[in-house]
Amino acid sequence: MMRPYLTVVLVLLSAVAVCSKQAGIIKICEGRSSNITCSGGTKIHIMKAIYGRTEKDVCPSKAIKTTSCLSGYSTCIVKAKCNGKSSCLLKASNDVFGDPCKGTYKYLEVEHICR
């Protein structure tokens, strides 16, 4: 006979495994596009998004004047475009997010889950 506390632990471990498989972070270099896709009837839920540059090693370029610039509306823009959909095409572009740091090569980083 299985003890109740063992059952609870197994259920919690199963839930963590399912959630962690469906969570993700994508990074898209400026001028490029990429898809977020959820399968099995799940839908995209955007946790946060940044367009700009906070790291030197992501999307390396000689055109990096700063590593402390962000577009203030990145999360709102990505949520409006992707939340509740099974698939979403995103483009990392100044036309979409504005240009928070002129002369610096930027990227879009999106943290999302499928649920």
Domains plus CATH for the chain?
23-114 (2.60.120.740)
Q: Is the pLDDT of residue 8 over 60?
A: no
**pLDDT confidence band for 13 (50 / 70 / 90):** very low
Query: ∠108-106-38 over CA atoms, to 5°?
Result: 15
pLDDT, tens digit, for every residue of 14-69? 444 344 445 799 999 999 999 999 999 999 999 999 999 999 999 999 999 999 99
- Least confident range from 7-16, 81-90, 100-109: namely 7-16
Determine which helix (DSSP H) or strand (DSSP E) holds 52, and give its type and residue range: strand 44-53
